[in-house]
Each structure stands twice: as C-alpha cells, then as structure tokens.
Homo-oligomer: A and B are copies of this chain.
Amino acid sequence: MTAIHPVILCGGSGTRLWPVSRKAVPKPFLPLVSDETLFEQAVRRVAGDDRFAAPLVVAGAAHADLITAQLSNTPGARLVIEPAARNTAPAIALAAALLPADAVMLVCPSDHHIADAAAFRAAALAAAELARQDYLVAFGIAPDRPETGYGYLQRGEPLAGGFTVAQFVEKPDLARAQQYLASGDYSWNGGIFAFRAGHLLAELAAHRPDMARLVAEAVAGGRQDGARFHPAPAPFAAIDGDSIDYAVMENTARAAMVPARMGWSDIGNWAALSDALSDGADAAGNVAKGGVVDLDRCRGVLAITDGPRISAVGLEDVCIIVSGGEVLVTTRDGAQAVGKLPGAVNQ
C-alpha cells in the first residue's frame, strides 16, 4: 500500500477573523485554537505516520516564508508557489501534476480545526481506499446545526467505507438547512478530498479542458528551487479560476463521500472560534485568551487581546477582540459580518 500524499491548501484569507487575521499573516498561520497555528495543526495531523507521505503545500508567494518557517520540523515537505490566486481547482491540479499519477492525494484546507485527529486519519484511510477505486471522494462532515454558510452533500448508495454522492447542494436557506439536518442524509462539504492524482487530472481535462491544459503548461514551464516549485506565471495567470466543487466534483459520475465525525470547524468567524475553544471556558461559558481579561457578570463572552487589558460587565454572547491597535466588539450573531467592516476591508 503506497502512502497517502497530503496536499495542504493555504488560500484562505480569513477576513472574518479580522483584526487578528490580516493579509500579512492570515488565519492559517495564527495560533487560534492552541499554541500551534491552524497550518501547523494541518501538517501535524498527518505527520509521524508512515501511511502518509510528506506534505505538498500550495500557497501564494506572500506567505511562502511564513510557511517555510512553520514547516521547519517537517522533513520532505514541498511548497508549490501559486503565481496567482485562481481558486481551488487550479491549486489542486498543480499538486496533482507534481505527484505520481497513481498517488492518492488528500486535499486539506489549512484553515480548519479538527479536534479528533484520529477520526480524521481513519476517514482519510477510508477515502483513500475509495480513491484507489477511482472515486473522487469528499469528506462529509456530520452537521450539528442547520448551517446556511456551507455546501452540503446528499449521500447516495453505500460503498465500502462510504457512499456515492447523490447530489452536491449549494448553500441552502435556513428552512432547507433544517430539513437537511433533520433528514440525516446530508453532510457538510468541508473541502477535504481524496483522489488519485492522475484520475483528478483526467476528470479536469474532461470537464475543464482549458484549465487542465494551462495547468499542464504552468507545470511544464515551471522551475524547481530547492523545496519550492514555481509554476510558469503566464499560463497559470491565464486560467479562469474555479472551485474544485464546480470544476470537477459536481460534474463527475464518480463522486463519493466518507462520513466524518471529527470535531471539525472551519473557524469561520469569532463565534466559531469561541465554540472551538469551549473546553477552556469558565463556568459561565466565557473564554479569555492572550492577556489580562476581567469579566463581571458576563456569559458566553470570547475575549482575546494582544496587550491591552479587556474589562467587561454584563455582556452575553459577545466577542471582544483587541489586536494590533484595533478593537472589535461583535455579537455572536454579528460575527459573520466582520469581514465587511471598513477595518477588515481596507487593511
């Protein structure tokens, strides 16, 4: 059995976690949930286990040095520098083109938190087994709320270790999300995938021939520099970007999913981070991080500071974030709108 090749994508900007997440050091490279960054956690989740090869990381040039620093304990890791941001399909295709055609690749976003790494690895092994049978496999995250911010997978026929995908569903409205949750047949599409590299490229060539051709040109004209690979900028920049879901997964006849119940969170906003940190909450559900925080009659408050003391009285379900000279105060319900604040937009 050959090892699974983790492909770690570093595209997320994390503007909803402003002011901590910034363009220069965005969400994947911040120690949000533990002392490790989300990227380091993504790497370590598949490290020290010979069922997994060293990771291939795909990222923009702006973060290459951050990544190299955070990979310092990861022998054999390689870095592919995207000449431009073109969404997930070209990024994944770049990685696929640099791996043996037979290799099973495990595509992992670097800006998610997974509490149960063992459950993740078990799902990865099941997904790899299906990928070897030429399925394109998505992780189906067990939903625990009627979330309207994610795409969903409807499970189809049973397979060994998983299911076919009956359909991919766009972000639903609340009523449909509630139906999905109640039915038990739907999972969140967490953006974690397994495929054989050659199979993914073949499917891409079938459904997005221009993209497949330009990726092949970018790789053929690329330049290896130590552990870094630089695809040729011109063909890559010419790609009409798209997500792997739109470009391939929704078009293939071989989509499968493996159910995954692994304490997953995309840490999509401050409320989600508060939930991910709930093990460290006090009796009133408050979480404090990073400095002196004095809370008086508060409940469900997340307070994070990089220096100034935070003092709060009487708040419920509020996030207070003090970072780099910015002060953000948002309700949990408002957290989704943080990325549109002037401070986040004009950083």
Chain A interface (Cβ within 8 Å of chain B)?
A: 19, 294, 296-297, 305, 307-315, 318, 320, 322, 325-331, 333-335, 337-338, 340-344
Contact = CB atoms under 8 A, between A and B. Distances in A.
Contacts of A19: 311
In the A-B complex, the 5 residue pairs with the smallest Cβ-Cβ separation, listed nearest first, are: A314-B334, A313-B334, A314-B331, A313-B330, A312-B329
A325 B307 contact: yes
Identify the interface centre among A305, A309, A314: most chain B CB within 10 Å of its CB: A314
A314 B330 contact: yes
Contacts of A294: 341-343
Copies of chain A in the complex: 2
A289 to B, nearest CB: 14
A343 B331 CA distance: 24
Contacts of A320: 327, 329
Contacts of A309: 325-327, 343
Contacts of A305: 327
A340 B297 CA distance: 12
Contacts of A340: 296
A285 to B, nearest CB: 16
Given A312-B328, A320-B327, 20 more contacts: A294-B341, A294-B343, A296-B334, A297-B337, A305-B327, A308-B325, A308-B326, A308-B327, A309-B343, A311-B327, A311-B328, A311-B338, A311-B344, A312-B330, A313-B338, A314-B333, A315-B330, A318-B318, A327-B327, A329-B329
Contacts of A330: 311-315
B312 A315 contact: no
B307 A331 contact: no
A80 to B, nearest CB: 35
